């Protein structure tokens, strides 16, 4: 990669590995995030997403691997990265007995900012918090707490935002507003790496990566991720779809069956075998079977179905 292309990357890491004792949490992860890009990081709980994020911003040292974040080496120059990154954790971590403004002023002092008053006022106005600035943080709804957390991330005008499941437990309207704000920030050239479990959010990212067992299983834009898995998908309409799903499991070509409203979506990577299996059902009365495009959600259900959770003893296997 030439120097001009490299300068366009906010994150460029290769072969990252991390162990916690005998548990190999992150395995040879490589990824690139361009400046002004929203990069979605998806995967089941315990898959290594948070550990990756912490290594990228210098909070954790990788056991092996290399790369840069905002042009600084993630191992040797981590101190240079931290002041230029905004990190939003999964849990609300502000002081509930302080007002919104007091929380932001405290964070600004922690950053050692000289223009604290102006920065706080700017953040309040940009995130729509000015009218609530005197409200105690502990009385805010999930959506407003989310706005406060994002405002705190933006106080020092970072070049990169690392957001760890920022919309968990937030209502759909607040999630939509949050993502509108992320796209405004990306348009200003701020890069965003966001982990999420929501497929509608994944579809709003410029690029995606799916991680399970600590490994990246798929990476690219939504269309590239869907194509990379190679699923063929059909929709079946009719009665007793639950019973039909039980009958289809394990049949030639059938990798998964997923209920979507009034339809049963059946997918598999062997398109010919799947077609043959479903054509055998076509003579059954009351069933309508048709091919459909594979959705991102179907791809991630497919990738997730064998992913072990934290409690699964397989999760600790290298």
Predicted confidence (pLDDT) per residue in 48-93, tens digit: 888 998 898 888 999 999 999 999 999 999 999 988 999 887 777 7
Distance of CA 172 to the CA centre of its chain: 16
Q: How far apart are CA 186 and CA 181, in angstroms?
A: 9
Q: How far apart are CA 211 and CA 4, in angstroms?
A: 29
At 171 the pLDDT is 82
**Token pair of 124, please?**
């309040």
Please give the mean pLDDT across all residues of the chain: 88
Report in angstroms the alpha-carbon separations of 258 from 9, 231, 286.
Answer: 38, 13, 19
Is residue 201 a contact partner of residue 178, using CB atoms and an 8 Å limit? no
246-260: pLDDT as tens digits: 999 999 999 999 998
Bigger pLDDT: 172 or 316? Answer: 172
176-211: pLDDT as tens digits: 888 999 999 999 999 999 988 888 888 899 999 999
Q: How far apart are CA 215 and CA 232, in angstroms?
A: 24
Q: If pLDDT is split at 50, 70 and 90, which confidence band does 312 have?
A: very low
Q: How far apart are CA 226 and CA 232, in angstroms?
A: 10
102-125: pLDDT as tens digits: 999 999 998 888 889 999 999 999
Flag whether pLDDT at 297 surpasses 70.
yes
Q: How many helices (H) and strands (E) does the chain have?
A: 12, 14
Region 8-15: mean pLDDT is 94
Please enumerate in sequence order all residues whose Cβ is within 8 A of that of 277, keeping only pairs 6 or more positions apart, or say none: 248, 251, 252, 253, 254
Query: How is the chain split into domains, by residue range?
Result: 10-226, 230-304
**Token pair of 266, please?**
């059946």
Beta strands in the chain (DSSP E): 9-20, 23-34, 38-42, 64-69, 72-73, 85-88, 160-164, 191-195, 207-212, 215-220, 232-237, 256-260, 263-268, 288-292
Flag whether pLDDT at 318 surpasses 50.
no
Flag whether pLDDT at 21 surpasses 60.
yes
Flag whether pLDDT at 43 surpasses 90.
no
CATH for the 230-304 domain, from 3.30.70, 3.30.450, 1.25.40, 1.10.3470: 3.30.70
What's domain 10-226's superfamily in CATH? P-loop containing nucleotide triphosphate hydrolases (3.40.50.300)
Region 237-266: mean pLDDT is 93
Report in angstroms the alpha-carbon separations of 67 from 80, 196, 229, 268.
Answer: 14, 24, 27, 36
Q: If pLDDT is split at 50, 70 and 90, which confidence band does 225 have?
A: very high
**Token pair of 70, please?**
């905002």
Decide: residue 292, CB within 10 A, 0-12 exposed, 13-18 middle, 19+ buried.
middle
Other CB atoms within a 10 A radius of the CB of residue 305 amount to 12
Q: What is the pTM of this model?
A: 0.85
Please enumerate in sequence order all residues whose Cβ is within 8 A of that of 27, keeping only pairs 6 or more positions apart, or say none: 17, 48, 213, 214, 215, 318
Flag whether pLDDT at 173 surpasses 90.
no
Flag whether pLDDT at 302 surpasses 70.
yes
Closest C-alpha to 147, from 82, 83, 88 = 88
Region 134-158: mean pLDDT is 91
């Amino acid at each position: 990669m030439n120097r001009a292309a490299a300068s366009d990357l906010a994150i460029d890491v290769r072969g990252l590995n991390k162990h916690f004792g005998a548990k190999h949490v992150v395995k040879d992860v490589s990824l690139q995030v361009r400046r002004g890009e929203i990069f979605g990081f998806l995967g089941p709980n315990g898959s290594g997403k948070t550990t990756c994020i912490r290594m990228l911003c210098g909070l954790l040292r990788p056991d092996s691997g290399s790369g840069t974040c905002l042009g600084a080496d993630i191992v040797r120059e981590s101190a240079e990265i931290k002041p230029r990154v905004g990190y939003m954790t999964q849990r609300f971590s502000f002081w509930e007995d302080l007002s919104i403004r007091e929380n932001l002023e405290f964070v600004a002092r922690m950053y050692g900012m000289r223009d604290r008053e102006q920065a706080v006022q700017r953040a309040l106005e940009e995130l729509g918090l000015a009218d609530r600035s005197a409200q105690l943080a502990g009385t805010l709804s999930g959506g407003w707490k989310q706005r406060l957390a994002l405002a705190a991330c933006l106080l020092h005008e970072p070049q990169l935002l690392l957001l760890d499941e920022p919309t968990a437990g937030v209502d759909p309207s607040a999630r939509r507003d949050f993502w509108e704000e992320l796209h405004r920030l990306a348009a200003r050239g701020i890069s965003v790496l966001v982990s999420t479990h929501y497929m509608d959010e994944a579809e709003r990212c410029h690029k995606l990566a799916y991680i399970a067992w600590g490994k990246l299983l798929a990476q690219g834009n939504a269309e590239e991720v869907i194509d990379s898995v190679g699923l063929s998908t059909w929709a079946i309409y009719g009665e007793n779809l639950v019973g039909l799903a039980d009958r289809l499991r394990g049949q030639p070509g059938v990798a998964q069956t997923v209920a979507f409203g009034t339809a049963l979506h059946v997918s598999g990577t062997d398109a010919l075998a799947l077609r043959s299996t479903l054509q055998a059902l076509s003579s059954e009365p009351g069933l309508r079977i048709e091919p459909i495009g594979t959705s991102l959600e179907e791809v991630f259900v497919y990738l997730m179905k064998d992913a072990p959770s934290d409690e699964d003893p397989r999760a600790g296997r290298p």
